[in-house]
Chain A
Amino acid sequence: MNSFLQLEELTKLQKLLHDQSTPFQNLGRKVTQNFSNDKHFSVCSVLTIMLRDDLLPKEERIVALFLLLHLSPLGPELKTDGKQKQQEQEQEQVLNNKKKQLSSVALPPFLPVLLNIAQNNKKFNETQFEAFFVTIGLSDPNSDLFKQRPNQIGINNIERLKKYFPESSKIDLQVIFTKFSQIESEIPLVNKMGIGSSVPDPEKGKESKKNVEDLFEYQLNTDEFKPPFVRPSPSILEILDNELIWIDYEDETLLPIWDQSITNVKSNNDQFKNLLKKAFSSQLSQPEQQQIILRLENEPKLLEDSEITPNKIKDLAEKNPIISFEILKRFSEDEEKINRYLESFIQTKVTLHSMEVINKLSGVVKKLNKEFLNRFVSNCISSCREIKDKYVQGRHVRLVCAFIRSLMNNSQLDVKSMYTELQSFCVNFSRIRDTSNLFRLIKNQMK
């Protein structure tokens, strides 16, 4: 309660509530005299809480209700004249307009409390008598009832109250109730489920005693007593193994670097040439091969300065077939040039590596010289005959078969022109299964 009124103010208010011998209207005047306008809200709040929590005896509740009615006057827009009302009843449209107009009007803050009591829905522990009292107060604020003293009206005597009920209400309560129910429907259910937080616990055989200090220390608040919705809190996320940051000591110093590529351009080219020279005589490691291929990809012009001759390309194919293939691939754009280089493969003995290079080339270059291919295949076939060791010969024949098959698959080999030679090759080495498969393939192609 001290959050609304000071102890002195509360004492003043309690005196007014105790006063049963002063007419209601005078009590109303007194309350406006004792409390300035800015305190009216606090007074109303305290009265509401007292009513809700049932902290007052029955006699004082009536005074509290009157004070609440007195301090929550209805605005002029809610008041109606009796004659005007009759006219409006005749003209429904006008009435509807009025209702619409009313919907935009805000109700005084404590009017819902009074309306709740008037409806007697027990939210404020009100009796039927109190509901009737409030209804009269709402209908006719200047009713003769309020010229009476509190101790004159007789608590719970509804019959006595009935004579004060106005014949034609100055206030259209129906309109107000409609508006009130509209507002109520908008209030969340959670806010409506609360009940008063006081529970009467009378002690038997003892006198009733509740002084102002008790009320003051009560520390009233507007919250209502509700059942709890249990909201368990999420637990702290467990500290994971990799969450702790382990710092590795590093003596490495990262500094900007000097661009040595200018000084190295020449040396880089030299390095390429040296590597190529090495490739003619020995097998290069994979990184070295990769280095040459990368350079060739990025700078194809490097080949122009290189000293690769048709004679050397055969040596290169023997030592480093992949590089040989890469170079021949780049030469393939110039037909004359590639033919010159391929010629070297005819002039020397057929080897596994040379077959590998030509095979790869046949997959990349669309049309290899047919004459060259025929001659190369003839050489391959004759090389098989030259081998005397049967085991080595068998292996070589299988490779030649695979090579020819690959050429046929790439549509590079003219089978018709070589049919006789291929047929005799297959017949001669018919003991090897691969040749029969090859022969079947040749026959199929001939069809």
Chain B
Amino acid sequence: MDLAHRLFTQKKYNEASQQISALLEECKGNNKKIIKLKSHLALCGYMKTGCTQPEEYLETLNGIVNQYSQDLKTVDLGYVIYNQAIINYQLKRYQKSASQLESLCNIVGSLDPYLGFESAYLFLKLCIENNHISQSNDLVALIEKQFFQSNTLNKKQKGSELLTGNQNKNKQRFLMMKIKLSLCCSEHSKAALFVNQLQEIKNRNLQQQRLQENKQSQQKENPRGKLTERELFNKNLSLNMMRCKIEHSKMNLEEAKNNLWKLSKTMENSKTEERNNSSFWSSFYNNLGCVDLKNNKPGSALFYFKRALIANSQICKNEKTLNNFSKDKRSEIMYNTGLCLILLEKPQNAFQFFQGALVCLYNRPRVWIRLAECCLLEHFRLIKDKKQKNSLNRLVKRVIGQGQSRTVILQTGDGPNDGLNINEESVSFEDIVSSDVGDLQFHGIPVQSMSLDYASKAASNSILISEKLLKKVNNQKQKFSGTNIQNKNSKINENTKSLNNEKNEKKRENEQEDEKQKNDKNSNLKNKSTTTNIKIDHENLSKNDQTLKQDLEHGLLLLSYISLCCQNPVTALSSAKMLLNYKPEPYREYLANIYAAEACCLLNNPKLAKEYISKSLQKRRYQVEKLLKGPKDLEMMSPKEFESNWSDCVTALNLAFVLILQNDIQTASEYIKQASRMFPNSPLVLLSCVYLELTNNNIQNALDLLKSCHAFYPLENSQK
């Protein structure tokens, strides 16, 4: 066996295979040994092809597990399961990989320490990459307990003793993960502390290396100090990246950018092979783009993301190995590009990029929200175009006839309401599609067409995913409150379920099936809204969980709005009610009440509609009171809404609408007057006033109102 291993490490895969085959014949009946030999044989075959046929290798491993899983324990299949997990990870099948690694982490104590550490490390990496923070924290505790025992290590470090061999390397890798996790939790000082620890270890290694180099140079009289530093710098690239990220997180953006530039210059001066490292350049340009986007420079950010995508495309072009596949960060870069394009008000292009990002980021609710937003922005743009083309912006459609039979024809339908805020200036989508992004158009992914229907499906998906993740978080917290460290393994068990989102796995594999699923989800939403009732512990939510909650709330808000646009008041009402159950932030609560009220009107229940509007009015008053108390509460609602009292005007108009439905024209007119005092020239207010005059048979007053506002009167007639 030793010989086979030696041959394997010497990359003599054929000879190693022969050796293993011979051993296989010798050990019939010993299942444990047979498993290991078979997995070695498969590994040799896989390496022989240059890691280009992962599916075949995975199939062999699956076969081994299926054959022996009944007779043997997981411990005996440990290496096979780990290798399965590695291949699944590199093929970006994260759910499968996570469940396999989870089974190993549950028995980490009884595993071979090398395998145990590698399994826990990979699982931690996977959890951090998928933003499963609490699960990652549990894993960090587990790894520390099992492999490092932080107390003793710290004591050792104080004595400046060097960790040796694998433990040293593993400690560095583990520290890198801890830095990443701290950054994910926005714990910058903690991250900085870990970076310093990492730097200390690396400095000690550097000193040791230099000592060795000096000894060698004294012997060979060949000073290599400078080159060693450069080589070391290359090795420290990821650490520098991490430092930049910390700077970036601390919002010292310019400094982060400078650091990145320094890094790139060193790269360019270093060895040619490093300079041609596409993986480095794709991450480098992506990160530069992130810094620029943070600096509110979406134009230059787009330029960098474009370069990042080009560099990324080289990764898979060069050599189609599995490792290269795992380094392909197209989805991540595409997501960033999509955000950039949203800021540049190009929803059509952004939509395409978000679709591309779905390939790997399909289980992130935020991606679905962005897709829904793109569809909505495009919908607004189309409506605006249509209105401009057909002069629908005017209140008077046309004036026909002359003399005694002259008649003014009013604009009908949703008209000025659709997609427009009461403040005409507040939303402007005029230049959204005016410029194109050239070669940034993404090809190769079947792009779904933008529609309100797709938007509602995307919003439903975001709700389902965030709801599921939040449920898991809540379950974890409930369990955590009564457990001690010894139970951490079982907690990991619970946590991993969040990664096992089977529906989303199917989505990725089959787009068409996905569509059907989403339809089902959409139609089931009403039922779900009544059955699911997550009680969220608002105070104890971490930053990441709060983002998740925000996603859930915004998804529900979008779904409610889109359903109203699609004339589906039932879904609109159920999602608005669901949102109100979650006690959202005031701005969302206000809108949810309005949407619920409109849905109630459409469902012939003006009484309930009135209740909802009254609630929104109370919310608004409450906010104003809070605003007067101090500036802190301003964070609760976007400033635009606070700047003007348009929400009061909206509430007044909507109350008037409901009162008209209830035939209480007199009270309705009071509310309309109240609205007209606030925004006398708003088309929506004017429409309500004209309606009121016409229902009261005051035709002349209605005409005067229409003629008073030239902007909404047909040009030819107003000139007359």
Contact = CB atoms under 8 A, between A and B. Distances in A.
A248 B283 contact: yes
Quick one: which of A235, A248, A256 has the most chain B CB within 10 A? A256
A391 interface: no
A186 B114 CA distance: 73
A263 interface: yes
A76 interface: no
Given A234-B558, A246-B287, A253-B323, A193 B660 contact: yes
Interface string A214-233: 11011101011111111111
A67 B186 CA distance: 76
Given A228-B687, A246-B248, A203 B406 contact: yes
A421 B415 CA distance: 103
A236 B366 CA distance: 12
Interface residues of B, number: 140
A88 interface: no
Contact of B409 (A197, A203, A294): A197
B329 interface: yes
A326 to B, nearest CB: 15
A297 to B, nearest CB: 7
A253 B238 CA distance: 13
Given A246-B290, A263-B1, A198 B554 contact: no
Nearest to B54: A256
A231 B660 contact: no
A298 interface: yes
Contacts of A241: 186, 249, 294
A207 B404 contact: yes
A242 B554 contact: no
Nearest to A205: B403
A307 B427 CA distance: 83
B119 to A, nearest CB: 10
For chain A, what secondary structure do more than half of its interface residues adopt (helix, strand, loop), or is it mixed?
A: loop
Interface in A60-99: none
Residue among A228, A239, A285 with max Cβ neighbours from chain B (10 Å): A228
A261 B36 CA distance: 9
A190 B405 contact: no
A431 interface: no
A247 B547 contact: no
A421 B354 CA distance: 84
A21 interface: no
Contacts of A240: 547
Given A236-B342, A242-B184, A249-B238, A231 B109 contact: no
B407 A201 contact: yes
Q: For the complex, would chain B's binding face be called helix, strand, loop or mixed by DSSP majority?
A: helix
Contacts of A223: 412-413
A286 interface: yes
A195 B695 contact: yes
B238 A250 contact: yes
A218 B400 contact: yes
B152 interface: yes
Nearest to B691: A227
Interface residues of A, number: 78
B541 interface: no
Contact of B5 (A203, A209, A249, A260): A260
Interface string B546-578: 010010001001100100100000000000000
B306 to A, nearest CB: 15
Contact of A264 (B112, B339, B554, B594): B112
Interface in A101-147: none
Contacts, number: 290
A263 to B, nearest CB: 5
Interface stretch (B39-47, B433-441, B480-488, B511-519): B39-47
A248 B245 contact: yes
Interface stretch (B84-92, B220-228, B524-532, B623-631): B84-92
B406 A198 contact: no
Interface string B411-447: 1111111010110000100000000000000000000
B323 A239 contact: no
Contact of B604 (A188, A202, A262): A188
Contact of B151 (A194, A199, A257, A286): A286
B323 A209 contact: no
B241 interface: yes
Interface-central residue, A232, A253, A291, by most chain B CB under 10 Å: A232
Contact of B598 (A215, A224, A229, A294): A229
Select the residue from B113, B151, B657, B699 with max chain A CB neighbours within 10 A.
Answer: B657
Given A234-B591, A259-B79, A203 B402 contact: yes
Contacts of B695: 195
B238 A53 contact: no
Contacts of A209: 401-403, 405
B24 interface: no
Contacts of B450: none
Contacts of A446: none
A443 B606 CA distance: 83
Contacts of A238: 638
A189 interface: yes
A260 B543 CA distance: 42
B400 A210 contact: yes
Contacts of B376: 233
Nearest to A220: B409
A227 B547 CA distance: 38
A8 B248 CA distance: 71
Interface in B1-31: 1-2, 5, 8
A233 B421 contact: yes
Contacts of A224: 412
B250 to A, nearest CB: 11
B688 interface: yes
Nearest to A207: B403
A290 B403 CA distance: 103
Nearest to B647: A232
A338 interface: no
Given A206-B403, A250-B238, A256 B87 contact: yes
Nearest to B653: A230
B316 interface: no
A254 B323 contact: yes
Given A225-B410, A255-B323, A232 B241 contact: no
B522 interface: no
Interface string B681-703: 00010011001101100010011
20 contacts: A197-B397, A199-B706, A200-B699, A202-B403, A206-B404, A210-B405, A223-B413, A225-B412, A225-B694, A227-B688, A232-B591, A232-B650, A236-B373, A237-B373, A248-B242, A248-B283, A249-B280, A250-B238, A254-B90, A258-B5
4 A-B pairs with least C-beta separation: A206-B403, A210-B401, A223-B412, A259-B79
Given A225-B694, A297-B110, 4 more contacts: A189-B606, A228-B417, A234-B558, A287-B152
